[in-house]
Amino acid sequence: MPASEPLLPSFRGQILAPGDDGYEQARRVHNGMIDKRPALITRCVGVADIADAVRYATAHWLEISVRGGGHNVGGRAVTEGGLMIDLSAMKSVHVDAAARTAVCEGGALWRELNRETQLHGLAVTGGVVGSTGVAGLTLGGGLGWLMSKFGLALDNLLAVTVVLADGSVVRASAAHHPDLFWALRGGGGNFGVAAAFEFRLHPLGPLTTGGLAAFAPPDTRAVLRGWRAMMATAGDDLTSVAALISAPDGSGAKIAGIAACHTGAQPEAEAAMAHIRSFGTVVHDALGPIPYTTLNTMMDGDYPRGAHNYWKSAFMPELSDAAIEVLAEAHAACPSGMSQLAIEHLHGAVCRVPLDATACTLRTAGFNALVVGQWQDPALSAPTIAWVRETFARLQPFVTRQQYVNYVATDEDTNAAARGAYGPHFERLQAIKRQYDPGNVFHLNVNIVP
């Protein structure tokens, strides 16, 4: 038993301090650039453990960080010298198939939740890759394959069990603590530690239609124009992302890819896939019937844990020809094969939720432009970071100040990012923060200063 364990006598989970077995592994998150050393890591196994950890940290003036899936590229799940509340052992998922609901603990990953819900032919919007945490993704928004049909992940929340800054536990829902429930849906980790989430589920699959098509290098601009036209009239069944990537064969060829998910009937879904193939010369065709759980994990290998990540993103109301030109030029100049430019399209159910229904502001149809710097070789650090910054600067004429809180970069001023991300909701969020966390105990996030 590590010497640090008696610190919290009632704690059921594991407490790790520097030097303990497992500490080095536990302090690491998805982004290999993040190299912080918490004084303590409390690996909780229940809600009472979380409450103990919050009380201990506040009593000892230790900065708190909260780790759900550990996927945030900003690395805010880890504190330097403080106490990390690690939920990675809290992964249980209980599906009530008759009620079409699921309750999932705060450390579950999307592939773990999807596996359980799909046993019953049910699903909820989750991230496009399976290795992302349910908690951070949902609290910030939750863009994913099913969003055009079922809304963002957070639009499907029925309740959240939260440990507040004073260590007390509440269940926030439309009926209980409605202000807190509103704020949790978009406000990220600002309001407490989410121990469990209750989601509404929808019948889906197991088969959907989708996957990825990649096109010959000269077709990049034409592919983006074709995709833009298709998405302008896309119905709720189609969700799609355009990605300017490097061929995975090591050739370094710069190719455009269109990834898609269609939840509708086979004839309509196949017609949509045929439409995508018509954008250019297809060099790789992996579009077709695909189990939802496979779709959700097909790209996991493209984002390996421990790779270095530096991202920037912003909302782009239109994908103009001028923006396509900048994207194509930046794609050609990309220094690392694992990096990419991704463009997510928002429409359908996401945009029908009234702006003031939740704290999340991603309700306008349009595009989310994402400059993804990702690399393994340290020699690529400087050129890739410079490429991300330069590309993002060149995109400024086409984007708004609004950005998705879950993509805020490592080096950004999170207070400024919060104002930009929350826009008209910022002051209401600030008032709720004053009520539930006046001391700003939970500040390692895109922070709403009380």
Ligand X SMILES: Cc1cc2nc3c(=O)[nH]c(=O)nc-3n(C[C@H](O)[C@H](O)[C@H](O)COP(=O)(O)OP(=O)(O)OC[C@H]3O[C@@H](n4cnc5c(N)ncnc54)[C@H](O)[C@@H]3O)c2cc1C
Instruction: List, edge to edge, every strand of the sheet that includes 193-200.
Output: 93-96, 101-105, 193-200, 157-163, 169-173
Among 151, 167, 188, 211, binds ligand X (CB under 6 A): 188
Among 135, 298, 359, 418, binds ligand X (CB under 6 A): 135
Among 130, 133, 211, 420, binds ligand X (CB under 6 A): 133
Among 194, 272, 380, 441, binds ligand X (CB under 6 A): 194
Among 76, 149, 177, 254, binds ligand X (CB under 6 A): 76
| 339 lines the binding site for ligand X (CB under 6 A) | no
Q: Which stretch binds ligand X (CB under 6 A): 14-22, 55-63, 132-140, 387-395?
A: 132-140
From the DSSP assignment, how many helices (H) and strands (E) are in the chain? Answer: 14, 18
Residue 99 burial (CB count, 10 A): 10
Amino acid at 213: A
Among 101, 336, 406, 414, binds ligand X (CB under 6 A): 406
Amino acid at 111: R
Site string for ligand X, 82-101 (x = CB under 6 A): -----x--------------
Taking the complex as a whole, how short is the minimal distance between the CB of residue 340 and ligand X, in angstroms? Answer: 11
The owner of tokens 């910054």 is 389
Q: Which H/E stretch holds residue 391?
A: helix 381-395
| 139 lines the binding site for ligand X (CB under 6 A) | yes
| 30 lines the binding site for ligand X (CB under 6 A) | yes
Q: Which H/E stretch holds residue 432?
A: helix 426-436
| 38 lines the binding site for ligand X (CB under 6 A) | no
Q: H helices within 217-341, ranges in order?
A: 220-232, 266-277, 292-297, 321-333
Taking the complex as a whole, how short is the minimal distance between the CB of residue 404 and ligand X, in angstroms? Answer: 7
Instruction: List, edge to edge, every strand of the sheet that includes 308-316.
Output: 282-291, 207-215, 254-262, 238-246, 340-346, 366-375, 308-316
**Considering only residues 281-320, where is the footprint of ligand X by CB under 6 A?**
303
| Sequential DSSP letters for 173-241 | ESSSSHHHHHHHTTSGGGS-EEEEEEEE-EE--SEEEEEEEEE-GGGHHHHHHHHHHHHHT--TTEEEE
Q: Which stretch binds ligand X (CB under 6 A): 38-46, 123-131, 203-211, 415-423?
A: 123-131
Using the minimum distance from each CB to ligand X, give the nearer residue, 37 or 277. Answer: 37
Among 38, 127, 130, 211, binds ligand X (CB under 6 A): 127
CB 184 within 8 A of CB 194: yes
Q: Which stretch binds ligand X (CB under 6 A): 142-150, 211-219, 245-253, 382-390?
A: 142-150
Taking the complex as a whole, how short is the minimal distance between the CB of residue 49 and ligand X, in angstroms? Answer: 13
Count how many Cα atoms sit within 13 Å of the Cα of residue 294 in the half-sphere of its side chain: 14
| 183 lines the binding site for ligand X (CB under 6 A) | no
The owner of tokens 């250019």 is 280
Determine the Cα–Cα distance for residues 130 and 124; give it in Å rounded to an integer: 13
Here the tokens at position 172 are: 């926030």
Among 33, 40, 54, 73, binds ligand X (CB under 6 A): 73
Count the residues of the shown chain that bind ligand X, applying the rule CB under 6 A: 36
| 67 lines the binding site for ligand X (CB under 6 A) | yes
* Sites of contact with ligand X (CB under 6 A): 29-30, 66-73, 76-77, 87, 106, 127-129, 132-133, 135-137, 139-144, 188-189, 193-194, 303, 406, 444-445
